[in-house]
Amino acid sequence: VKQKLSGLRLRHETQGTGPEDAPFALSVDGEEITAYPGDTIAAALYAAGRRAWRTARNGEPRGLLCGIGVCFDCLVTVDGVPNIRACQALAQPGMVVVTGQRGEDVE
Amino acid sequence: MSRAVEVAVVGGGPGGLSAALAAARAGAQVTLLDGYTRPGGQYYRQPPDRLMARATRRQRQGRALWQQARDAGVEILSDWVVWDAAPDRTLAAAGPDGTTLIHPAALVLATGSYERLAAFPGWTLPGVMTSGAAQALLYQGVAPGKRVLLVGAGPLQLTTAAELLHAGVEVAAVLEAAPVLRKILPHAAAMWGQWERAVEGLESVLALASRGVPYRTGWGIVSAYGEGQVEGARIARLDADWRPVAGSEREVACDTICIGYGFIPFNALSRLAGAQQEWRPELGGEIPLRDKHMQTTMPGIFAAGDGAGLGGYRSALLEGQIAGLAAAAFLGRAGLGQESALRGLARRLERERAFQRLYSSLFAPELGLYELAQPDTLICRCEGVTLGDLQAAVRENGAASFVEAKNITRCGMGECQGRVCGQMIPQIISRLSGVSPEQVGSNAPRPPLFALPLHRLRAADQAAAGRSFERRL
């Protein structure tokens, strides 16, 4: 179940001062989403209205739990590399993120 | 490939930065390894550069300490994950191009802590997260949800609630499991001289009150519900053992639940390095035994900050300074006046520890916290082990230790390596078997401490590693 909870980007927090602060696009499951420099993949997913993106071994949806890189619940595949922590990896322009990774992929 | 350094510091939070700074100022060559993209740890977590103009006082303090360390000549390697430590102080550190074996002449471990969680029905639903996760999102300019319920024990829930309100996010309520007001009176004397802390707490309470957000002490969560993600929570008044009081239950609509019951020291590296550990529940659980100079039982291996026993950032700053000076002295770099500096730091640390004793007596988890799970509730989220599986392991297979439960169920063996469930399982097995949590034992850390892509685990070749060091200098 991929339910959306949109509008989580705080408007006053989108502004930066220079051209390097401009938003950019990355691909998540084939869909373009917008991120800002310094966003982790998890923050970009939340801002895009996605809070469940991994499937646990028992089939449950999972997303962000600890937010500090210790729980590994938020794993995604980034540019073909699996098991990347969405809460730690920074979103980059043109990055290709695939979610829905299942627990048993981690071996 | 391998590399020799004088002092290696692991961890870039308050403890690690202050240790690195103190050792560098004492004349040592210092390399700081930090697993995050920039220094600061959790307490000084830095905002993205574009939002620096809106940084909090805490974030500015962290940035200043980071710059001081850099100016003092500390080599800071960010996004370097230390995944093993040996008794001879050798570290296996994964950089962007692979793993380098670092051989420090003295080692300071300042690995911090992470939030203590407790399983309840619905705790695996997306939308249930730690308060730290909510803060991390908030500092990136993203709200964790539209309507947030905060539950747990300790001041972080209050601080986070105040920050959410400040950012314009609706807060449903803050539930503090500990009956703080009733418990604080006998300890009023220890609060003497702690006005800064009292004011911080009061400011958060006032921020809640001014927006009509309930702050309930002696209340907790019973379960979370929702289709595919959080839609609400059942909450209840708690008795002295933190067990829900019958008849007090009510529902709260929310899309996000922030949980956190204090912190757990991340002692895995000191344990892997062979340092003797002791069981000190009032300091968060299992921690390395240390002398007054923060040296563990392994010569030349020092430990500072929350990872060596909870104390908060003020303690971490002081312990870091002591450990940094002591690490430099271990190399024969003791400056003039070092002894009196160490004595002064020790006196200040003693005052901080008095506060930590108060803090732990106020917010220490009671047994009811670990009784919320039902037989079908997951305990080990990674391996999918339920309370029912653990009950069967104890009652049918006679498991009475962590190791036995692990052999039977695989609990604590998943991607998180037991960091999430590892502290609940001894409590649960203890309740089921009658054996004390200390005797049930803890989950042994195993290298690699963090699951990393293979290209980061394999040895970095000379050229690639050289390039990555240069990039960061």
Residues of A with Cβ-Cβ distance to B54 under 8 angstroms: 13
Helices B131-139 and B155-166 pack at an angle, to 10 degrees, of 30
pLDDT at position B206 is 86
For residue B41, the model assigns a pLDDT of 96
Helix (H) or strand (E) holding B153: strand B147-153
pLDDT of residue B149: 98
pLDDT 10s per residue in chain B (473 long)? 899 999 999 999 999 999 999 999 999 999 999 999 999 999 999 999 888 888 999 999 999 999 999 999 999 999 999 999 999 999 999 999 899 999 999 999 999 999 999 999 999 999 999 999 999 999 999 999 999 999 999 989 999 999 999 999 999 999 999 998 766 656 666 565 566 677 777 788 888 989 999 999 999 999 999 999 999 999 999 999 999 999 999 999 999 999 999 999 999 999 999 999 999 999 999 999 999 999 999 999 999 999 999 999 999 999 999 999 999 999 998 777 888 999 999 999 999 988 888 888 889 999 999 999 999 999 999 999 999 999 999 999 999 999 999 999 999 999 999 999 999 999 999 999 999 998 999 999 999 999 998 889 998 865 454 444 444 43
Which long-range contacts (C-beta less than 8 Å, at least 24 apart) are formed by A31-35? Answer: A35/A91
Chain A environment of B416 (Cβ under 8 Å): 70-73
What distance lies between CA A17 and its chain's CA centroid? Answer: 24
Q: Which residues contact B258 (CB under 8 A, 6 or more apart)?
A: B129, B130, B131, B133, B134, B144, B148, B149, B150, B151, B152, B157, B160
pLDDT for the residue numbered B31: 98
Q: Determine the residue of chain B that is closest to A13 in CA distance.
A: B141
Question: Under an 8 A CB cutoff, do B140 and A43 touch?
Answer: yes
Tokens in use for B31?
Answer: 């390399």
d(CA B151, CA B130) in angstroms, rounded, equals: 10
Contacts of A105 in chain B (CB under 8 A): none
What are the DSSP calls for B43-62, one per residue? TT-PPPGGGGGG--HHHHHH
Find the residue in B nearest to A68 (Cα): B133
Contact state of A3 with B128 under an 8 Å Cβ cutoff: no
Taking each helix axis as running N to C, give the angle between helix B424-433 and helix B387-395, from 0 to 180 degrees, rounded to the nearest 10. 40
ipTM of the complex: 0.93
Residue B389 φ then ψ, to 5° = -60, -40
Distance (Å, whole) CA B109 – CA B302: 6
Contact B133 A68 (CB under 8 A): yes
For residue B323, the surrounding DSSP H or E stretch is helix B312-330
User: For residue B134, which residues of chain A lie inside 8 Å, CB to CB?
Assistant: 67
Residue A71 tokens, joined? 């729980």
pLDDT score, position A2: 43
DSSP state of B258: E
Nearest by Cα to B404 from B448, B363, B444, B371: B444
How far apart, in Å, are the Cα atoms of B109 and each of A36, B68, B119, B269, B296? 33, 20, 30, 8, 10
* 8 Å CB contact between B19 and B301: no
Residue of B117, B116, B369 whose CA lies nearest to B220: B369
